[in-house]
Amino acid sequence: MITREFFDQYVERRGTRSIKWDGCNAKFGVDPSVEMVPMWIADMDFKCHPKIVEAVTRKAQEGIYGYCVKPDSFYEAIMSWVSRRYHWEPKKEWIIFTPGVIPGFTLAIQAFTQPGDGIIVQTPVYYPFMDEIKNNQRTMVENTLVQKENGSYVMDYEDLEVKARDPRNKLMIISNPHNPVGRCWTPEELERVGNICADNGVIVVSDEIHADLMMKGYHHTAMCTLSEKIRQNTITNYAPSKTFNLAGLQTAYTIIPNDKIRAAYEAQLNANRIFNMNWFGPVALETAYNECEEYVDALCDYIDSNKQYFNEYIRENLPQLKVTELEATYLTWVDFRGTGMSTEEIEHFIAHEAHIGVDMGTWFGTGGAGFLRFGLSCPRCILEKALDQLKSALENHGK
Ligand SMILES: Cc1ncc(COP(=O)(O)O)c(C=O)c1O
């Protein structure tokens, strides 16, 4: 059984080729002799479920790593998981293997838009959305989220209507739930977006990679559960990588119920010759989905308690910071503007004075200045260390 103690264990990741740990100092330009606390990039400092480790080890011990088939068991595990956890029933032929969610949405950009076409995103947002729009010479169209008085974020539907109506805008990529602002979008919110897009011929890409990571009291809504009209206009990207800590195994999948959209997407996949799986990711996915569901529930409890700890610590010790209510994901979005520092100073301070590696607010585009994103997917001892370092660095700042 997976208990709290499992997630409490400190696992040494330095020297393992982990980008989060071994790439941290270089990423932030901090001297290699400084021991930073890495809370950037979205992977977890927890071991995988022991059953996944065993299954991958067994596969590795076969000792031959030639080309492999895509077995039925891979699709069956996905169909069962999506139906159990996300409450819809994809058919096998709707499911397409991809080596990652980023390649998954990039293929949609390439298949359904031409250079110069507009793609709508809701900033501040997971920066690879913006990077891939730019890398493919498309135009980013922002439907910026609105921050309310209490710090929570909502969508601007009037602005979205105007942008969706513009025939130059062909695609919308939505982060559901939202990275970095932590919103678990409600069915009503998603339905409005889905209908605005469907009514204006804008295809929706729903990135649901964080769908399993729900804080207490929140439930994920899959875009494809809302209506047949919305389902026929939606491309959904999923992966077991955030939930089960498998990002380095490069195994994700896209689900497309609409035959015409799916055919165009598959043609793009073939044009890039992306069809080979690796040996380990699909084995890990099947084991995770078929045998490790208990891990998800225990993990969400643990992250939720880290969230409570983080929020209380900040409330009691660092009232100049404001934490946005985290509804989903393990990534918490913190407003540092109350420190009186400029955006540049905040981003320098966190790495060079507090020695914590975080995702900088400005990476997420409009609305990100003055914010930092902290990953809470770590044992409590790491979180305590980071918060103590943050407190003492803030006390010493400017002295
Ligand atoms: C919203 C979102 N999409 C995609 C990814 C990465 O997907 P992958 O590693 O499967 O390409 C992340 C990772 O943090 C993410 O937060």
Count Cα atoms within 13 angstroms, Cβ side, for 203: 24
Domain 66-291 falls under CATH 3.40.640.10:
yes
- Could you tell me what percent of the chain has a pLDDT over 90? 99
Whether the upstream peptide bond of residue 124 has omega within 30° of 0, thus cis, is yes
Identify the band that residue 275 occupies on the pLDDT scale cut at 50, 70 and 90: confident
Cα–Cα distance measured from residue 237 to residue 202, given in angstroms and rounded to the nearest whole number:
17
Cα–Cα distance measured from residue 141 to residue 347, given in angstroms and rounded to the nearest whole number:
26
Cα–Cα distance measured from residue 398 to residue 92, given in angstroms and rounded to the nearest whole number:
59
Cα–Cα distance measured from residue 260 to residue 258, given in angstroms and rounded to the nearest whole number:
6
Q: Is residue 197 within 6 Å of ligand 1 at its C-beta?
A: no
Task: Give residue-wise pLDDT tens across range 311-327.
Answer: 999 999 999 999 999 99
Q: What is the largest CA-CA distance in the chain?
A: 63
Task: Give residue-wise pLDDT tens across range 198-244.
Answer: 999 999 999 999 999 999 999 999 999 999 999 999 999 999 999 99
Q: Which residues pair with 373 in a beta bridge?
A: 333, 359
3-state secondary structure 117-128: CEEEECCCCCHH
The beta-strand segments (E) located in 57-168 are: 95-98, 118-121, 139-142, 146-147, 153-154
Q: Which numbered atom of ligand 1 lies nearest the CA of 104? A: 11
| Mean of the per-residue pLDDT values of the chain | 97
Q: How many angstroms separate the alpha carbon of residue 114 from the centre of ligand 1? A: 24
- What are the residue ranges of helices labelled H in 136-258? 157-165, 187-199, 228-231, 241-244
Identify the band that residue 351 occupies on the pLDDT scale cut at 50, 70 and 90: very high
Do 194 and 159 contact (CB within 8 A), yes or no? no
Identify the band that residue 398 occupies on the pLDDT scale cut at 50, 70 and 90: confident
Task: Give residue-wise pLDDT tens across range 366-383.
Answer: 999 999 999 999 999 999
- Residue 178 structure tokens: 């939202």
Q: Is residue 207 within 6 Å of ligand 1 at its C-beta?
A: yes
Q: Is residue 179 within 6 Å of ligand 1 at its C-beta?
A: yes
Do 136 and 102 contact (CB within 8 A), yes or no? no
- Residue 335 structure tokens: 């407003």
Q: How many angstroms separate the alpha carbon of residue 105 from the centre of ligand 1? A: 10
Do 185 and 176 contact (CB within 8 A), yes or no? yes
Q: Is residue 252 within 6 Å of ligand 1 at its C-beta?
A: yes
Helices 280-291 and 293-317: crossing angle in degrees, nearest 10, is 90
Q: Which numbered atom of ligand 1 lies nearest the CA of 175? A: 1
Give the number of other CB atoms < 10 A from CB of residue 379: 19
Task: Give residue-wise pLDDT tens across range 44-90.
Answer: 999 999 999 999 999 999 999 999 999 999 999 999 999 999 999 99
Q: Is residue 247 within 6 Å of ligand 1 at its C-beta?
A: yes
| pTM score over 0.85 | yes
Q: How many angstroms separate the alpha carbon of residue 394 from the centre of ligand 1? A: 31
Q: How many angstroms separate the alpha carbon of residue 395 from the centre of ligand 1? A: 35
Cα–Cα distance measured from residue 186 to residue 222, given in angstroms and rounded to the nearest whole number:
10
* Domain locations in the chain as residue ranges: 4-50+293-396, 66-291
Task: Give residue-wise pLDDT tens across range 280-307.
Answer: 999 999 999 999 999 999 999 999 999 9
For residue 133, the one-letter residue type is I
Class of the CATH-defined domain 4-50+293-396: alpha beta
Do 190 and 233 contact (CB within 8 A), yes or no? no
- Of 122, 183, 209, the one to substitute when testing ligand 1's pocket (max ligand atoms within 8 A of C-beta) is 209
Q: How many angstroms separate the alpha carbon of residue 242 from the centre of ligand 1? A: 8
